[in-house]
Structure 1
Amino acid sequence: MKATGIVVEYNPFHNGHLHHAAKAKELSGADIVIAVMSGQFLQRGEPAFADKWTRTEMALSAGVDVVIELPYAFATAQASEFARGAIELLGAAGCSSFCFGSEQGTIEPFLKSLELLSTERERYNQIIHDRIQTGISYPKALNDAYLTLTKGSEGYADLTKPNNILGYHYIEAAHKLNSPIKPLTIQRIGAGYHDPLEPGVAIASATGLRNAFFEGEELTQLSPYLPSSSIRLLERVHSEQQGFVDWQRFYPMLRFTILREGPKALSRFAEVTEGIENLIHEAAKRSETFDAFIDRVKSKRFTRTRIQRMLTHIFSGYTQQEAQAIKHPEYIRLLGMTQHGRRYLNGQKKAIPLPIISRAADLTGNMGQLDIRASTLYLQAIGADSLKKEYTTPPIYLGKSSDK
């Protein structure tokens, strides 16, 4: 059986994700789709809207055949590390290709951009360094350097677009890993990455959907944007967890941790650099809500996303020392599979170079213990009754055809 891979968060799974999974299989000619999915915390430094098992079941109910977890160390990292961990896992799982959605819509511009940045790496890095010295953020410095190198030229990928940026990092990761996995892309359609919901547009942004939920929209009112299986599963989790998850729900625990640790201790956590620990501590003392806290900390140099990643690491206890010790994925954590997915994994077992883990109790080493710690802290913030789920939830198996 032939497999293609996709890198996802499904926060939540909507019609755009349904389209992506179907087109990935069509474009690659694959028999199954394997999704490597972030667990309880996401790349933009946020707790997931719904837990990883709910999001896994959404995916398996709507066209994905295997869901594996992207370990915390990669799921919450900057784009290049996020991409590297994901591509390594898809390669280890035996995927012959990976497919991402992009604003660009064709693969050739990405390959041309990769060639340019590979041959002009020294100049590119120097421009980035010079721009950071002016006080701008790292993402802005990257963009400025890229625009300088491509000025007056055509045929390169537009790396100001969020999905294009991630897509480029996937391709770059495969190149650096010398992976035979083939890159593919499909045109992103419908709403933009951060767009609000728009009547008559069936493919909405995940951001727009989350905002609608938190602003009080009923799930049934959002049915034009979500597969019926997603509506059903979200209704279930909403009832069980008394709502969905965002930073405000986690803020009391986060604030307690920040105030208990103090500024000096905060500096030992991953990505907490340049003295920002003092500002974080002061903001926690003065802020009753998460939004008020963020407003006191964010700046041109420290973007909201960068700060949220720091806060995620403070919340989970992920230290600089741990981050330096984790280099590569050490296992494949299986979250769920369909009947076709099970058949594929059974046929590939001997060829897969990493152990396939189906129980939290089998996770060992720094990476495994970090994944357990992050997940149990997430579950604790939701409610004590949920804490045991990390150890007692087996991989989800959907043996029948998907419910789209």
Structure 2
Amino acid sequence: MITAGIIAEFNPFHAGHLELIQRVRKDIGDGCLVVVVSTYFSSRGLPSLMDPQTKTRLALEAGADLVIALPAVYAMQSADYFALYAIEALKCAGVNLLCFGSESADGTLLEQSADAIRTLEPDPTTSLARNAQNQGIAPGPNDILAIQYIRWAREFGISFKPYLRNQSLKSATAIRRDYFEGLKQEGDKDFHPAQSWKSYYPYLRLMLMETDPAILRTYFLVDEGIEYRLIRAALEHADYDGFLNACISKTYSRARIQRTCMMILMQIDKKEMKAHRFFFSLILLGMNETGQRLLASLPEYAPVYSRFRDLDEWTKTILQKEMRMYGLIDGNMPIWKPVRLAGHHCCSDKTESDTPEDSEQ
């Protein structure tokens, strides 16, 4: 049986995501479609406009069978690590075909690019994505991710299939931009309007101004003296846009700054992150009957987690941190609850919802 996998952010879920899921669903027929999705914060270090439960519901309604979580500390990574961690999760689910959107959808070209990037002699003052684009390795910005998907899929013995992106459909970036400019967007009833960096910046600014640089250096992604750049910008700028623009440079991209700042806010320790640098986990967000059958077919030793309280202490801690941060801005604490859809057996009777606080009792 084909078990296909899609790596997603759904920030927010849009027509392009719907189209990809439907195309994969049609191609695999009775196979199982697994989606691994980032939780409350995205790979670019952005708060998500949609919470994980909403993302899961929309994915299941679109044709996915099983939705699993990629916690923020693993999602907020450069393309190579984001792809690695997501594929580690999909491997745990028994995925044998990775499907993804691409500007070119040229499998041969993308494979050649994946080979080329392994021998790339990068400019250490800039990002991998900029290095690849500067040397003509990646045809388009989303193909940076595509070639990393291919790289790690081959490493884990997973086949892959690129799908041509429909450029006529509005991108997630454009949706977020227009939404925050006050323009109504399709599906925006499911958005969390307070979830933007402007809401988080007062907390970040105070932390940067009041924390010893030596302590900041203990946090993940705080390297090469970036803490002094962040502190100086925080002292000089009361608004987030001014702060961000002051931090961006040839060395530090917008995404790198945002990821680093979120790691600081979450106080993710470098040593702890190094000790948990692999993510072979299957954290359930929702499923239908087909997804349930897939889980039942996995080996007994498969790292499947259907309840928050069953997670290992590290994973519970990092999820609690992101949920509390997200809830602080929203004004209420999120509840970790696998999605149940009418007419679907999404979870067994033994799968009960629980909040992080419940899990500690």
Give TM-score scaled by structure 1 length.
0.79
Please state whether the residue corresponding to 1:185 is helix, strand or coil. strand
Deviation for aligned residue 1:159 = 0.6
Please state whether the residue corresponding to 1:308 is helix, strand or coil. helix
> Amino acid of the residue matched to residue 99 of structure 1?
C
1:208 aligns with 2:174: yes
Distance 1:30 1:101, change over 3 A: farther
1:40 aligns with 2:30: no
Q: What does 1:390-401 correspond to in 2, within 5 Å?
A: 390=335, 393-400=336-343
Please state whether the residue corresponding to 1:105 is helix, strand or coil. coil
1:168 aligns with 2:130: no
Q: Distance in 1 between matches of 2:129 and 2:224?
A: 17
Q: Distance in 2 between matches of 1:343 and 1:139?
A: 39
Structure 1 equivalent of residue 214 of structure 2 = 264
Distance 1:91 1:310, change over 3 A: same
Q: What does 1:79-94 correspond to in 2, within 5 Å?
A: 79-94=79-94
Please state whether the residue corresponding to 1:372 is helix, strand or coil. helix
CA contact (8 A) 1:73 1:367 kept: no
Structure 1 equivalent of residue 160 of structure 2 = 183
> Amino acid of the residue matched to residue 331 of structure 1?
S
Kindly provide the CA deviation profile for residues 304-340 of structure 1, in whole angstroms up to 9, marking residues without a partner as x.
1111110010111112212211222142111111233
Distance 1:167 1:137, change over 3 A: closer
Q: What does 1:28-177 correspond to in 2, within 5 Å?
A: 28-29=28-29, 31-118=31-118, 121=119, 124=120, 127-128=121-122, 131-132=123-124, 135-144=125-134, 146-147=135-136, 159-176=138-155
> Amino acid of the residue matched to residue 309 of structure 1?
R
Structure 2 equivalent of residue 304 of structure 1 = 254
1:277 aligns with 2:198: no
1:217 aligns with 2:207: no
Please state whether the residue corresponding to 1:253 is helix, strand or coil. helix
User: Match for 1:360 among 308, 318, 322?
Assistant: 308
Please state whether the residue corresponding to 2:167 is helix, strand or coil. coil
Deviation for aligned residue 1:160 = 4.5
Q: Distance in 1 between matches of 2:277 and 2:338?
A: 26
Q: What does 1:281-292 correspond to in 2, within 5 Å?
A: 281-292=231-242
Deviation for aligned residue 1:136 = 4.4
Identify the range of structure 1 (286-295 vs 254-263) with the bigger mean alpha-carbon deviation: 254-263
Deviation for aligned residue 1:175 = 2.6
Distance 1:55 1:160, change over 3 A: same
Q: Distance in 1 between matches of 2:214 and 2:153?
A: 38
Distance 1:309 1:371, change over 3 A: same
Kindly provide the CA deviation profile for residues 49-74 of structure 1, in whole angstroms up to 9, marking residues without a partner as x.
12211222222222222110013332
Please state whether the residue corresponding to 2:4 is helix, strand or coil. strand
Q: Distance in 1 between matches of 2:221 and 2:183?
A: 35
Q: Distance in 1 between matches of 2:175 and 2:67?
A: 22
CA contact (8 A) 1:4 1:30 kept: no
CA contact (8 A) 1:339 1:397 kept: no
Identify the range of structure 1 (359-368 vs 306-315) with the bigger mean alpha-carbon deviation: 359-368
Q: Distance in 2 between matches of 1:398 and 1:3?
A: 21
Please state whether the residue corresponding to 1:43 is helix, strand or coil. coil
Structure 1 equivalent of residue 299 of structure 2 = 350
Q: Distance in 2 between matches of 1:86 and 1:333?
A: 12
> Amino acid of the residue matched to residue 161 of structure 1?
G
Deviation for aligned residue 1:15 = 0.9
Distance 1:337 1:137, change over 3 A: closer
Q: Distance in 2 between matches of 1:68 and 1:35?
A: 6
Aligned residues: 344
> Amino acid of the residue matched to residue 170 of structure 1?
Y
Q: Distance in 2 between matches of 1:59 and 1:137?
A: 31
> Where does the alignment leave 5 or more consecutive residues of structure 1 unmatched?
148-157, 192-202, 224-230
Q: Distance in 1 between matches of 2:62 and 2:257?
A: 34
Please state whether the residue corresponding to 1:397 is helix, strand or coil. coil
> Amino acid of the residue matched to residue 340 of structure 2?
Y
Q: Distance in 1 between matches of 2:315 and 2:153?
A: 22
| Percent pairwise identity | 31
Q: Distance in 1 between matches of 2:24 and 2:212?
A: 47
Q: Distance in 1 between matches of 2:325 and 2:116?
A: 43
Kindly provide the CA deviation profile for residues 188-236 of structure 1, in whole angstroms up to 9, marking residues without a partner as x.
0124xxxxxxxxxxx2101111112111123xxx34xxxxxxx2xx42x
Deviation for aligned residue 1:137 = 4.5
CA contact (8 A) 1:47 1:245 kept: yes
Structure 1 equivalent of residue 354 of structure 2 = none
